[in-house]
Amino acid sequence: MIDSDDFGKEILEYLKLYRDLGVRWVRAAENSKPQDAGRATTRSVPASTSSSPAPAFLFAVQKTVADTAAVVTPAGPSESLESIRAHLKGCERCKLSTGRKNIVFGAGNPKAELMFVGEAPGADEDEQGLPFVGRAGQLLTKIIEAIGINRKDVFICNILKCRPPGNRNPETDEIAACEQFLFRQIAAVKPRIICALGAFGAQTLLKTAEPIGRLRGKLLDYRGVKLMATFHPAYLLRNPNEKRRVWEDMQVIRKYLDSLH
């Protein structure tokens, strides 16, 4: 049974997210027929333990929370990275705020065609406040340069903006609290292609539980742009034999970028 207070807070967070992204809600047509092509259709609300039925709009929001397939229409230009950074300043939305040294917002070209999304900051990133500056970051730089792109010409960020203790995996509540800023960063940068580094990056963006080994190697669609999932550089440091697969993935990215010009 879903706690009504928690669910209400979750609804509000998502409504705030879409408001910040500059979108407006389009009300689904009531009593629309499935055969009416191009029109929104409603679905029956699941049975509730409450005596009164849930309002119709709650079902639409619940579906959005479940699979991020909100029915929205752009209502203006997206915000800048600097305004997002200002909104994130001093963030205490999850428990990671108590142990961090620095928020690691992201770095690079604010209008990059290629955007990298990793998992979370490590010790070096937490110390410097910059993404991918440790050993994994040095390898990522070499990977980027290997396809003829300068690191300063891409934008790099993580799902989480604060370091998990001991570099453990991100937890569900931490992702839920932080992913809105990632989505806003993507909307601000407007990349032509996103490279998701590792399972958490790919699974968070694609809303899937598929392992990275099945997701990598092919261009996927993500909100109107292409997405390539590949292994995280930290994984490559432990498994150097997988570097060839990452090289193949990066070649696909390079060819796609070349096709745009």
- pLDDT tens digits for range 26-46: 444 444 444 444 333 333 333
Q: How far apart are CA 160 and CA 169, in angstroms?
A: 10
Asked if residue 42 and residue 92 are part of one domain, the reply reads: no
Asked if residue 217 and residue 93 are part of one domain, the reply reads: yes
> Which neighbouring-strand residues pair with 196?
117, 229
Asked if residue 130 and residue 104 are part of one domain, the reply reads: yes
Higher pLDDT, 55 or 141: 141
Asked if residue 112 and residue 88 are part of one domain, the reply reads: yes
Question: CA gyration radius for the chain?
Answer: 20
Asked if residue 143 and residue 55 are part of one domain, the reply reads: no
Q: What's the confidence (pLDDT) of residue 138?
A: 97
Asked if residue 111 and residue 8 are part of one domain, the reply reads: no
Q: How far apart are CA 97 and CA 212, in angstroms?
A: 28
Q: What's the confidence (pLDDT) of residue 177?
A: 97
CATH code for position 182? 3.40.470.10
Mean pLDDT of 15-30: 46
Q: Please enumerate in sequence order all residues whose Cβ is within 8 A of that of 206, keeping only pairs 6 or more positions apart, or say none.
A: 196, 215, 220, 222, 227, 229
Q: What's the confidence (pLDDT) of residue 4?
A: 54
Asked if residue 188 and residue 157 are part of one domain, the reply reads: yes
Asked if residue 68 and residue 101 are part of one domain, the reply reads: no
pLDDT at 52 exceeding the cut of 80: no
- Which residue spans within 183-260 are E strands per DSSP? 193-197, 219-222, 225-230
- Domain boundary residue, one of 74, 91, 111: 74
> Six-digit token pair at 160?
């989480």
Q: What's the confidence (pLDDT) of residue 51?
A: 37
Amino acid found at 106: G
How would you class 66 by CB atoms within 10 Å of its CB: exposed for 0-12, middle for 13-18, buried for 19 or more? exposed
Q: How far apart are CA 245 and CA 240, in angstroms?
A: 10
Mean pLDDT of 139-151: 98
Asked if residue 231 and residue 104 are part of one domain, the reply reads: yes
Q: What's the confidence (pLDDT) of residue 5?
A: 60
Residue 148 burial (CB count, 10 A): 9
Residue 120's pLDDT band, with cuts at 50, 70 and 90, is: very high
Q: Which percentage of the chain shows pLDDT scores above 70?
A: 70
> Which neighbouring-strand residues pair with 192?
none
Mind listing the pLDDT tens digit for each residue in 215-239? 999 999 999 999 999 999 999 999 9
Q: What is the pTM of this model?
A: 0.73
* Domain boundaries, position 32: 4-74
pLDDT at 70 exceeding the cut of 70: no
Do the beta carbons of residue 134 and residue 158 sit within 8 Å? Answer: no
Listed residue (51, 58, 42) closest to 8, CA to CA: 58
- Domain boundary residue, one of 74, 103, 128: 74
> Which neighbouring-strand residues pair with 193?
114, 226
- Domain boundary residue, one of 26, 52, 74: 74
Q: How far apart are CA 183 and CA 238, in angstroms?
A: 30
> Six-digit token pair at 170?
């991100």
pLDDT at 146 exceeding the cut of 90: yes
How would you class 240 by CB atoms within 10 Å of its CB: exposed for 0-12, middle for 13-18, buried for 19 or more? exposed
Q: What's the confidence (pLDDT) of residue 98?
A: 96
Q: What's the confidence (pLDDT) of residue 178?
A: 97
Asked if residue 139 and residue 49 are part of one domain, the reply reads: no
Q: Report the number of distinct structural domains present in the chain.
A: 2
Asked if residue 143 and residue 35 are part of one domain, the reply reads: no
Asked if residue 90 and residue 40 are part of one domain, the reply reads: no
Distance of CA 115 to CAs 62, 107, 173, 181, 188, Å? Answer: 29, 10, 24, 14, 11
pLDDT at 187 exceeding the cut of 90: yes
Q: How far apart are CA 102 and CA 127, in angstroms?
A: 7
